[in-house]
Structure formats: C-alpha cells, structure tokens
C-alpha cells in the first residue's frame, strides 16, 4: 500500500498547480451527483467546512482520508441532517486500527419524502408518487508514515435515483496531512470524487431501446410518433480539490482554541474559501465558521459535548447552517446532529 500511496500523492502535487492556475468560471448545471458535495459531521459543518487540515477522526472518510491516521482507537460514527424542503441525509461509518494504519467503511444516503406526479397537460396530480435519492458506500485506508506525515486513499460506489431512472458509478478519494510540529500547524490536501462521467439510460418511448438514432424518422414502437428517444449526454461528477491549513491559537491540558482556513476548487463553480474555529473548554466545544464566494455566503455554528463512559468516549455534536433565502425560518434551515464513539 505504501508503494501505491506515494506515487498517487506525487501525481496530486503535480496536478495542484494546474488546478489552481485554471481560470475560474462557473459551470452550474453541468455536473451530476450533486449530493456528493454535501458535507457530513456536525463538527466540520460548525466550523464552516474548513476541515481538510483539521480532521483527525472517523469523519475523515468524507473530508480527507489521511485524517484517519494516526488513530489508537476504533471508532463508530452516525450523522443525520435535516435540509430544507424535507430532504434528509443519513451517514454511518466505522474504522479499525492497529495504531499505524487504519481501515474504514461507510455508507451515506440522501433521501426525501414522496412527491405527487403531475400531469403536464392536465396540470393536475395523477395519484402516482415518486422520490429521488443519492447513495454512496466506500472503503478507506490510511497510514501514518512518520510522526508528522500521513496519507490515505478511498474508493466508493455511487448510485443516483431520479424518479424511475438511475445511474451507477464509482470514484476515488486521495488525501495527505502534514503536521509542521509548530503550534500544531497542519497542512491538509484532499482530492475527492475522481471518477468517470455518468450517463442516464432513458427509454423515452418505453419500447425497450435506448439512444435510438434521433434522425432515422422511424416510429420505433409503433405508436404513431417518430424519434421519441434521443442520446443522453454525459455528465461529470463533482470532482474537487481542497487545500487547508489549521493551527493552535491557544492550548493547555484541558482547553484549546484552533482556527482553520481552506480553499476549495470544484469543477462546476468558482473557487471558494472557508474559515472555521473551534474552542474546547473542558468537555464542551464551541464552533463557528463562514463560507466565502458561494451563491449565498453562509455562517455556521455548532456545539459539542464529550462524554467518557465505560463503553468508550462519546462525542455528541450539533451544527446549524444559515441557508439564506433558501429557508423561511431558523427551524426550516439546515440542522445536523452527529454521534461518534471511540473505544
């Protein structure tokens, strides 16, 4: 695994200047599987998603695989998110470590309540129902190479369901973490969702064939209409590159105060910046963050509580994200709750 990780990290370092030098412009609507951009873990969200250089636990399976190492305890993680419009996201993960290397598995599903099918001609509901969902299941591996440097890789299966249509795909994640040794300043990098394009297979006329020649002028299914099918276009998935830095403002045996800054480059939008901070006072955590250059620059905040038990150490976290004009009130905004167990 070490022989694989080092060349992949070198490739990422070569690609980094090209990614950051590319002229930024928006490509809204050109990328599928948008649910892959929805962050998980109330701790990370409370810090404004400025988390690539901070992550040091099981939630690293999403943010930066390198954050899984070093680890000296196995971990379990569950998270629930309430989005506006009754859209919800569930996430679960588990990791296993020997103190040097760590393996983790996880699963995520974005789902929504059933909606009515509307007849476009009668402008009325038909009595049928439909729903949409997005699924991701993955396996990550991370290793501590020195007391300052760790790296990780991940592979995942993806599926998106839209009404009666679906598409399957796969993607890879790659990450690294370097601790300078001064005031716990860490530099983290993560390349996420590197995978092939997707294409929906749609049989518009229900004749059992797809991608029929749109110019043959034949009535393929004998219903009196011609050329009902057309070739579906390929869509990319939301590949992204994140570069972050974090460090201590203050730290002692019981308390600490950290801050982080992160640059995100996603293929379907301009570059964005995330700022985050976390203050630990005994077993209580206070967090805040801000996202810059988004459609609606967003403030986020969160609280956490660490509870030692005979089973292990529990962390219970909550985060709120201001969704701006997308929500009607605080109650109908985005809320996340997550629970982690180290044992």
The domain ranges of the chain are: 2-198+236-342, 200-233
What integer pLDDT is reported at residue 17 of this predicted model?
A: 44
Domain 2-198+236-342 falls under CATH 2.40.160.60: yes
The 3-state DSSP class for residue 44 equals helix
Alpha helices (runs of H) in 97-175, residue ranges in sequence order: none
Q: How many CB atoms lie under 10 A from the CB of residue 131?
A: 12
Residue whose C-alpha is closest to residue 298's, from 45, 5, 27: 45
| Rounded to 5°, angle at Cα 33 from 53 and 288 | 35
Say how many Å lie between the first and final Cα of the chain, rounded: 26
Residue 310, φ and ψ in degrees, nearest 5: -70, -25
List the one residue out of 150, 144, 141 whose CA is nearest residue 9. 150
192 within 8 A of 177, measured Cβ to Cβ: no
pLDDT at 1 (0 to 100):
53
Asked if 105 and 92 count as a contact pair (C-beta separation under 8 A), the reply is: no
From residue 207, alpha-carbon distances to 117, 202, 211, 215, 314 in Å are 22, 11, 11, 17, 55
Residues 6 or more apart from 89 whose CB is under 8 A from it?
35, 38, 40, 79, 80, 81, 83, 108, 109, 110, 111
DSSP-assigned beta bridge partners for residue 130? 115
pLDDT score for 310:
94
Give the list of residues 6+ apart from residue 40 with CB closer than 8 angstroms, or none. Answer: 59, 62, 79, 81, 89, 91, 108, 336, 338
Of 96, 100, 112, 102, the residue nearest 65 (C-alpha): 102
Q: How far apart are CA 76 and CA 314, in angstroms?
A: 10
DSSP of 58-72, one letter per residue?
TTHHHH-GGGG-S-S
Q: Compute the CA torsion angle 91, 97, 100, 102 (nearest 10 deg).
A: -30
pLDDT number for residue 328 = 66
SS (H, E, C) 180-191: CCCCCCEEEEEE
pLDDT score at 119: 78
Q: Whole-model pTM?
A: 0.84
pLDDT of residue 126: 80
Radius of gyration of the chain (CA): 22
How many alpha carbons lie under 13 Å from residue 306 in its C-beta half-sphere?
13
Q: Which of 262, 245, 197, 191 is nearest to 8 (CA)?
A: 191
As a whole number of angstroms, the distance between CA 312 and CA 146 comes to 27
- Among residues 150, 148, 189, 247, which one has the least CA distance to residue 63? 189
Give me the tens of pLDDT residue by residue for the chain, a chain 343 residues long: 545 444 444 444 445 544 444 444 456 667 999 999 999 999 999 999 999 999 999 999 999 999 999 888 999 999 999 988 889 999 999 999 998 899 999 999 999 988 888 877 777 788 788 889 999 999 999 999 999 999 999 999 999 998 878 899 999 999 999 999 999 999 999 999 999 999 877 666 566 666 555 555 666 656 666 555 556 678 899 999 999 999 999 999 899 999 999 999 999 988 999 999 999 999 999 999 999 987 766 899 999 999 999 999 999 999 999 877 767 667 777 899 999 999 9
Other C-beta atoms within 10 Å of 292: how many? Answer: 12
């Amino acid at each position: 695994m070490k022989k694989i990780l080092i060349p992949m990290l070198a490739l990422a370092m070569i690609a980094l200047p090209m990614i950051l030098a590319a002229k930024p412009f928006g490509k809204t609507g050109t990328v599928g599987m948008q649910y892959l951009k929805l962050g998980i873990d109330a701790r990370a969200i409370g810090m404004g998603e400025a988390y690539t250089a901070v992550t040091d636990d099981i939630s690293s399976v999403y943010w930066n695989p390198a954050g899984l190492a070093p680890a000296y305890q196995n971990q379990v993680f569950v998270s629930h998110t309430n989005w506006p419009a009754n859209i919800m996201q569930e996430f679960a993960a588990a990791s296993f470590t020997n103190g040097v290397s760590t393996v983790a598995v996880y699963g995520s599903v974005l789902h929504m309540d059933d909606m009515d099918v509307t007849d476009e001609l009668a402008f009325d509901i038909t009595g049928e129902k439909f729903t949409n969902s997005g699924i991701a299941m993955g396996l990550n591996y991370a290793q501590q190479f020195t007391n300052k440097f760790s790296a990780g890789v991940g592979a995942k299966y993806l599926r998106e369901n839209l009404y009666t249509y679906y598409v399957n795909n796969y993607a890879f994640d790659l990450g690294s973490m370097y601790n300078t040794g001064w005031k716990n300043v860490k530099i983290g990098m993560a390349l996420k969702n590197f995978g092939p394009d997707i294409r929906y297979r749609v049989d518009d006329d229900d004749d059992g064939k797809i991608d029929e020649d749109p110019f043959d002028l034949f009535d393929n299914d004998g219903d009196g209409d011609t050329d009902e099918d057309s070739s579906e276009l390929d869509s990319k998935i939301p590949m992204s590159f994140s570069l972050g830095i974090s460090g201590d403002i203050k730290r002692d045996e019981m308390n600490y105060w950290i801050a982080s800054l992160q640059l995100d480059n996603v293929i379907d939008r301009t570059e964005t910046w995330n700022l985050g901070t976390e203050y630990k006072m005994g077993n209580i955590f206070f967090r805040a963050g801000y996202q810059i250059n988004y459609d609606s620059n967003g403030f986020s905040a969160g609280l956490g509580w660490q509870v030692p038990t005979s089973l292990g150490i529990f962390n219970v976290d909550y985060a709120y994200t201001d969704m701006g004009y997308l929500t009607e009130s605080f109650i109908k905004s985005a809320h996340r709750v997550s629970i982690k167990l180290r044992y």
